Amino acid sequence: MGIRYSTSMFNTKHGYLKKSALIVAEVSNNSENIINSIIDGQNKTLTWGQAQQFDLWPAYVAVETTIEPLRKFIPPHFVSEIIGADGTCGDIEVDTICNGPLKPATSYRFKLRLYTSPDMWTDSEYSEIATTS
C-alpha cells in the first residue's frame, strides 16, 4: 500500500528533526482499536513483529527514516513509501522495526511521527481509513 506525505508538515520549532516514522494501525469495522489507547497510554509503540500477537494489530512502527538536520524544508517535496513491502520480517527479532506485510482485505490508518530526540516526538493525526485488496 502506498503512502505519500509532504515535508511541508515538518517543523523545527522544538529543535532539529532527527528521524521520521510511519505508524500503521489496523482498524475494525467500527473504526476503533482499543489496544491502541492502552499502548498509547504507556507511551510505547510496537514493531510489526510485536503487533503479530494481537488479532487486531495495534499501532506499530513500519518505517523509520533519518532526516538530514535542516532548519527549513523549503521547497517542500513529497515522500512516498510502500507499506507492507518486506516479506522477511518473520525471520528477524520481534523488537526490530520492519515493514512487514499487511493483511489482505483489511482496513488501516496511518500517521507520521517526527522525532527531535529518541524519546521526544510529535505525531500527525491518523489518516483516513485505507483498505488492502
pLDDT tens figures, 26-36: 998 765 665 55
Minimal CA–CA distance to 56: which of 30, 82, 81?
A: 30
Global confidence as pTM:
0.88
Cell 515522500 locates to: 79
Instruction: Check residue 33 and give its pLDDT.
Output: 60
All three cell numbers of 118: 529518541
CA angle (104, 97, 29) in 5-degree steps: 30
Cα separation, 98 vs 88, whole angstroms: 9
Reduced to 3 states (helix: H, G, I; strand: E, B; else coil), residue 93 is coil
User: What is the rounded distance in angstroms from the CA atom of residue 23 to the CA atom of residue 5?
Assistant: 13
Give the residue carrying C-alpha cell 532539529: 16
Task: Indicate the SS3 state at residue 79.
Answer: strand
39-43: average pLDDT: 57
